[in-house]
Amino acid sequence: MANNGMSFDPDDFLRVVRDAGSRLRRSRRTVVIAIAVVVGLFTIGSAYYQVEPDEVALVTRFGRFVRTSTPGPHSKFPFGIEQVQKVPVQRQLKQEFGFRTVRADIQSAFRKDEKTAAESLMLTGDLNVATVEWIVQYKIADPYKYLFKLRDVEETFRLMAEASMRTVVGDHSVTELLTVGRESIAAKAKELLSNLCKLYDNGIAVQQLVLQDVDPPESVKPSFNAVNQAIQERERAINEAWAEYNQEIPRARGLAEQKIEAAEGYAVDRVNRAKGDGKRFTALEEQYRKAPDVTRARIYLETMQAVLPAAGKKLIFDEKAKGILPMFPLGPTGEVKP
């Protein structure tokens, strides 16, 4: 039988069919092997997971918590039967309020927008308005409670921190907030936030709450700055006055005590000397009564011995001596002059 000048051979046709079937069987076997390899790799990949040193992993099976994995390599049921959620329990986390850090470096970059402005704008206890920026540093103390006790725990924690700060700021004046009450306000807000975390049982441990910038609104900032400067000047003057007080008062007290002690010592000396003089006079009187002439002569000689050295040089000679020119040492060095 001819077709366009070519003859049809049944044997050739059967051979072609057999070759095609053989190639199809070989390709099917290759596809099956490839599929098996892919499924095996996917099974191994979905069954293996690694927990970092600062993390723990919580494993759920069909949505139900079954176990906690410590740092290191682990395995689980593949194909989504078990799911792994890693929680950084050793890392200190931070929430920022009133600003956002864009780049943390030597010269950090921050971003402020309408959302951050709404967070930071607060009403104080004396009905003034202030913009308060702060950060909260915390750790995840209980990963199970952190993941399963609250829905959207991070956003809930932010709302709790903002509510705590607004409550404490509302109990203080703007002057305290801007000046001496910052540390007290931060400590009270941290305590209130910690109590809320315990109340909601969210597994978060608050470590530190730090006030950053606290400023009045832009429209009244110049007036507030003037008031703050006046307060600082007043504090400086008070400190200088106290410093001078602490310097002068102890000195005056020391001088007063010194004079008092000197007066008391002088009084004791005078009294003791008077008593001694009295006793000496009494003893002298008794001696005089026993031997008046001897005692009178002794008193005279003792008196002259005490008086004459203080009287300077004295020349004493016999008034009956006549015709004699005495020589006396009158020079400054004691030489004899006629």
Task: Please state the rounded mean pLDDT for residues 123-134.
Answer: 90
Task: Please state the rounded mean pLDDT for residues 22-32.
Answer: 67
**Cα gap 263→247, rounded to integer Å:** 25
pLDDT at 2: 41
**Cα gap 57→211, rounded to integer Å:** 33
φ, ψ of residue 87 in degrees (nearest 5)? -125, 125
pLDDT at 23: 65
Helix locations, the chain, DSSP H? 10-47, 114-120, 143-148, 153-169, 174-178, 182-200, 221-290, 292-307
Contact 116, 99 (CB under 8 A): yes
How much is the mean pLDDT over the chain?
Answer: 83
Lowest mean pLDDT among 159-163, 182-186, 320-324, 334-338: 334-338
Query: Taking 90 as the threshold, does the pLDDT of residue 162 lie above it?
Result: yes
Q: How many CA atoms lie within 13 A of 215 on its CB side?
A: 12
pLDDT at 24: 61
Max mean pLDDT among 7-16, 21-30, 172-181, 263-272 falls in 263-272
Q: How confident is the model at residue 338 (pLDDT cuts 50, 70, 90)?
A: very low
Handedness of CA 70, 73, 74, 78 (dihedral sign): positive
Contact 55, 88 (CB under 8 A): yes
258-295 pLDDT tens trace: 999 999 999 999 999 898 888 888 887 888 788 888 88
Lowest mean pLDDT among 27-36, 211-220, 324-333: 324-333
Share of the chain above pLDDT 70, in %: 83
pLDDT at 318: 65
**Cα gap 324→144, rounded to integer Å:** 134
Query: Taking 90 as the threshold, does the pLDDT of residue 326 lie above it?
Result: no
93-216: what fold?
Tetrahydropterin Synthase; Chain A (3.30.479)
Query: Taking 60 as the threshold, does the pLDDT of residue 60 lie above it?
Result: yes
The residue ranges of every structural domain in the chain are 15-91, 93-216
203-248 pLDDT tens trace: 999 999 999 988 887 777 787 778 778 888 999 999 999 999 999 9
**Cα gap 244→139, rounded to integer Å:** 49
pLDDT at 7: 54
Alpha carbon distances (Å) from 303 to 120, 223, 283, 296, 324: 98, 88, 17, 11, 31
- Token pair 């004899």 is at which residue? 336
Q: How far is CA 221 from the centre of its chain?
A: 28
Quick one: tokens of 68? 């906690």
Alpha carbon distances (Å) from 248 to 34, 235, 236, 262, 267: 97, 20, 18, 21, 28
Helix axes 182-200, 153-169, angle to 10 degrees: 140
